[in-house]
Amino acid sequence: MKAVKTKITIGVLSSLIAYVSLNSLLHTTNPDLFIHRPEDREERQWIATSKSWLDRKACRWIGFCGLAHLRFADRAFGYRSESGDGDNQHVIQPDKDWEEAWNDTKDRPEDWTHDERILREIPDYVIEHAPLVHLFSGEQFWPGDIAEHLYHITPSLNYTPIPASEIEPSLKNLDKLNEHQRGKWVYLTSQDNVEDLPEWLEGEKNIPAPGLDPENPFEGNDSWVHFPGRSWVDGVKDAIHDLKDWFAPGLDRDFEQEDDYLKSRWPDLTLAKSNNSWRGKYHEELRRRSADSKPEEKIRGGKSEAPAVLLTVNKGNGIVDAFWFFFYSFNLGNVVFNIRFGNHVGDWEHTMIRFQHGEPKAVFFSEHNFGSAYSYEAVEKLGKRPVIYSAVGTHAMYATAGLHPYILPWGILHDQTDRGPLWDPSLNSHAYTYDPKNDTLRASNLTPQAPTAWFHFAGRWGDKYYPLGDKRQYRFAGQYHYVSGPLGPKFKDLDRKKVCAGPEKAECVIKHWLGGTDNVRLATTLDEFEWEAEND
């Protein structure tokens, strides 16, 4: 028996030594094998920031990085001292008012030519069909204002702060940061330790204001009917009607024989029928009518002090894409086995509604690096307006309330949505029109004073992923506790042909009902490798 144990021990140690030796050899002779994301190009430098020899070796050999920094996830993130804001939090100077920053331009609508007015016009139907967003009831990080966000950051070139004498970032000059290596390595770095929970990071003051009866989104609007979304029977009726006219305008190839178009046109009804159980509880939702109410009354959604950003893009052939962007100052990553991954400063989410000749046809929901597309008739609506659900922490956007597994099997990694505060972004937004062909952003007729320079900033809207030597950072199985902040709206495939974001040749299936499990394309957005290639 002793001999058997000895052999097992020798075998395990030999395997471990062989693995470490082979791993080290491959890292030395062919490092490109281990480059799967931009961070991997800086692997050696990142590991070297740790002062612990043991930590550096464990990270390089077996992929366990920052074990000494590991903390299991708590119900609430971070810690705010009892004194309130804390001694080390960035204090805003009283003469700085970020609300005025949105009106700090000299553009005068009365000076516009007739042609210019047309280029800047937001069609009425875009506002009439503006989305309503259910934020999560237990959210910790609420919507933010990018103007306020900029007052709490220091621009950095990688980890090196850019001198304040060069630029004091604002909405009207943020694009000047592109002068530093074209903005590629510029990060808007928080002046506060995010784990101290500065108030601007959580954005609690931006929770949408409820109506007189916060439990009733129909209050005072009985003429607006709640439509819970399409069943497979209703959804398939229009699946073959005019899909080819708006599926991929301007695409220079025959897409009608491609799999995603065929799946959108002829969906698998057997899958839909077998996954229709979700419908029951939604039929129990309130459904009210009143013949006496005026149809032009607005739904009473909540107004947030944090503005949304609306961008319309004319795709030609009667197609207009309306992008609604929502900003949060912090993204709280999800938890796997009670360990949190994917935190980052700055968070841009969006939904896109595609119109053809003024009629809404499809809705795209951004979800991390993925996304889902639905026909407009399929999604839940209040009146004419689609209802969107924002996931707790990550703010990913979904078409239904509930749990939403992604990437990992068995629901190990998932988002959660519910019917929390109802946010009406149309009550406070800054609207623009964008021409991707000549990269021209124009303040619209709705908000003619809105600045445009911020849109062209080519860097990241948050900190660069923290070094291994930072006590807040760890990495397991290639997943970081803190990752880098995101790119801005300009880099969200605004010129897309299909409804989904991502490469033009990637699959984009339009779902015609809620709850089915037919093949749904997870639309990868333009990642940093592609972005670097296009800008090198």
Comparison of pLDDT for 145 and 370, the residue scoring more = 145
Q: Is 490 within 8 Å of 432 (Cβ atoms)?
A: no
Which pLDDT band, with edges at 50, 70 and 90, does 123 fall under? very high
Indicate the range of 109-113, 274-278, 415-419, 448-452 predicted with least confidence.
274-278
Backbone angles phi, psi at 364, to 5 degrees: -110, 135
Confidence at 249, pLDDT banded by 50, 70, 90: confident
Strand residue runs (E) in 56-210: 64-65, 132-134, 153-157, 160-161, 186-190
CA distance 518 to 263: 9
- 400 secondary structure, DSSP code: S
Asked if residue 350 lies in contact with residue 325, where contact means CB atoms within 8 angstroms, the answer is yes
pLDDT at 513: 82
Per-residue model confidence as pLDDT tens digits over 11-28: 655 654 555 455 555 555
169 within 8 A of 453, measured Cβ to Cβ: no
Q: Residue 191: which pLDDT band, with cuts at 50, 70 and 90?
A: very high
**31-45 pLDDT tens trace:** 555 555 667 778 889
What is d(CA 441, CA 327) in angstroms, rounded to the nearest whole number? 19
- pLDDT band with cut points at 50, 70 and 90 for residue 101: confident
What is the spatial distance between Cα 350 and Cα 345, in angstroms, rounded to a whole number?
A: 17
Neighbours of 465 (CB within 10 A): 23
Containing H/E element for 442?
A: strand 440-443
Q: b/e map of 110-133 (b: 16 or more CB within 10 Å)?
A: eebeeeeeeebebeebbeebbbbb
Confidence of residue 107 (pLDDT cuts 50, 70, 90): confident
CB 284 within 8 A of CB 204: no
Instruction: State the pLDDT confidence band at 283, using cuts at 50, 70 and 90.
Output: very low
Strands 308-316 and 319-331: antiparallel
Query: Position 19: which residue type?
Result: Y
- 162 contact partners, CB below 8 Å, separation of at least 6: 154, 155, 156, 177, 180, 186
CB burial readout 287-313, b (16+ within 10 A) else e: eeeeeeeeeeeebbbbbbbbbbbbbbb
% of the chain beyond a pLDDT of 70 = 68
pLDDT value at residue 522: 39
> What percent of the chain clears pLDDT 90, i.e. is strictly above it?
51
Phi, psi (degrees; rounded to nearest 5) at 62: -120, 5
Average of per-residue pLDDT across 528-533: 40
Question: What is the mean pLDDT of the segment spanning 479-490?
Answer: 95
The predicted structure's pLDDT at residue 7: 60
- Whole-number pLDDT of residue 30: 54
**Can you tell me the mean pLDDT for 184-202?**
96
Distance CA 529, CA 531 (A): 5
How far is Cα 131 from Cα 115, in angstroms, rounded to an integer?
A: 29
Please compute the mean of the pLDDT values over residues 146-170 and round it to a whole number: 92
pLDDT at 183 over 90: yes
Task: For residues 499-511, give the mean pLDDT.
Answer: 87
pLDDT of residue 36: 55
- H/E stretch holding 361 reads strand 359-367
What is the average pLDDT across 248-256?
71
Least confident interval from 218-232, 425-439, 473-487:
218-232
Q: Any idea which of 136-150, 312-326, 362-376 has the lowest mean pLDDT? A: 362-376
Query: The whole model's pTM is what?
Result: 0.83
Q: How confident is the model at residue 502 (pLDDT cuts 50, 70, 90)?
A: confident
Write the CB contacts of 335 (distance below 8 Å, at least 6 apart in sequence). Answer: 73, 341
- Confidence at residue 166, expressed as pLDDT on a 0 to 100 scale: 80
pLDDT score for 455? 98
Question: What pLDDT band is residue 86 in, cutting at 50, 70 and 90?
Answer: very low
pLDDT in tens, 392-433: 999 999 999 998 887 766 667 889 999 999 999 999 999 999
Task: Map out the domains of the chain as residue ranges.
Answer: 2-46, 114-143+205-535
- How many CB atoms are closer than 10 A to CB 168? 11
107-116, 223-232, 290-299, range with greatest mean pLDDT: 107-116
